[in-house]
Amino acid sequence: AHLDRIAAVDGDIHAFLATDSEASLAAARAVDERRAAGEDLGELAGVPLAIKDVLVTTDMPSTSGSKILEGYRSPFDATVVAKARAAGLINIGKTNMDEFAMGSATENSAYGPTFNPWALDRVPGGSGGGSAAAVSAFEAPLALGSDTGGSIRQPAALTGTVGAKPTYGGVSRYGAIALASSLDQVGPCARTVLDTALLHDVVAGHDRHDATSLNHAWPSMAAAARDGVDPASLKGLRVGVVKQLALPGMQAGVKARFDETVALLTAQGAEVVEIDAPHFEYAVAAYYLILPSEASSNLAKYDSVRFGLRVEPEGGGTIEGVMSATRGAGFGPEVKRRIILGTYALSAGYYDAYYGSAQKVRTLIQRDFAAAFDKVDVIASPTAPTTAWNIGHVNEDPMQDYLNDATTIPANLAGIPGLSLPIGTASEDGLPVGLQLMAPAFEDARLYRAASAIE
Ligand code: GLN
Give me ligand 1 centre to Cα 413, in Å. Answer: 12
How much is the pLDDT for 314?
85
Mean pLDDT confidence for 119-147: 98
* DSSP output for 390-412: BTT---S-HHHHHHTTTTTHHHH
- What separation in Å is there between the alpha carbon of 423 and the centre of ligand 1? 23
Burial (CB count within 10 angstroms: exposed 0-12, middle 13-18, buried 19+), residue 353:
exposed
286 close to 362: Cβ distance less than 8 angstroms:
yes
What integer pLDDT is reported at residue 395 of this predicted model?
A: 61
What is the helix (H) or strand (E) element at residue 49, kind and residue range? strand 48-52
CB of 148 sitting under 6 A from ligand 1: yes
Mean pLDDT of the 378-383 span: 98
For residues 308 and 119, the model is more confident at 119
Distance 150 CA to ligand 1 centre (A): 6
pLDDT bracket for residue 183 (50, 70, 90): very high
The angle subtended at Cα 341 by Cα 338 and Cα 347, nearest 5°, is 135
Mean pLDDT across the stretch 9-13? 98
**CB of residue 179 inside a 6 A radius of ligand 1:** yes
Would you state the pLDDT for residue 394? Answer: 62
pLDDT given at position 399: 76
Buried b (16+ CB within 10 A) or exposed e, 106-134: bbbbbbebbbbbbeeebbbbbbbbbbbbb
Asked whether residue 452 carries a pLDDT value surpassing 90, the answer given is yes
Question: Does residue 152 have its Cβ closer than 6 Å to ligand 1?
Answer: no
Task: Give 432's strand partners.
Answer: 425
- Cite the active site residues: 52, 127, 151
Asked whether residue 358 carries a pLDDT value surpassing 80, the answer given is yes
Q: What is the C-alpha to C-alpha distance for residues 130 and 143, in angstroms, rounded to an integer?
A: 9
What the chain holds in terms of domains, given with CATH numbers, is: 2-227 (3.90.1300.10)
Q: Indicate if ligand 1 lies below 6 Å from the C-beta of 335.
A: no
| Nearest protein CA to atom 6 of ligand 1, as residue | 149
- What's the average model confidence in pLDDT over 389-413? 85
Q: Is the pLDDT of residue 342 over 90?
A: yes
Residue 145 has pLDDT above 90, yes or no: yes
Q: Please work out whether the CB of residue 150 comes within 6 Å of at least one atom of ligand 1.
A: yes
Mean pLDDT of 260-278: 97
Q: How far is the CA of 84 from the centre of ligand 1 (A)?
A: 24
Q: Ligand 1, atom 4: nearest CA belongs to which residue?
A: 103
pLDDT reading at 319 higher than 70: yes
User: Residues 67-95, buried b or exposed e (16+ Cβ, 10 A)?
Assistant: bbbeebebeebbbbbbbbbebbbbbbbbb
Task: Count helices and strands (H / E) in the chain.
Answer: 15, 11
Q: Is the pLDDT of residue 248 over 90?
A: no
3-state SS record for 58-71: CCCCCCCCCHHHCC
**What pLDDT does residue 396 have?**
65
Sign of CA dihedral 125, 127, 131, 134: positive
Percent of the chain having pLDDT more than 70? 99
> Does the pLDDT of residue 364 top 80, yes or no?
yes
Q: Is the pLDDT of residue 403 over 90?
A: no
- DSSP for residue 240: E
Determine the length of the chain. 455
- Give mean pLDDT, residues 32-56: 97
Determine the pLDDT at residue 400: 72
Average pLDDT rounded to a whole number, residues 427-455: 98
- CA of 341 from ligand 1 middle (Å) equals 15
Q: Is 194 in the pocket of ligand 1 (CB under 6 A)?
A: no
C-alpha distance across the termini of the chain, in Å? 27
For residue 272, what pLDDT is reported? 98
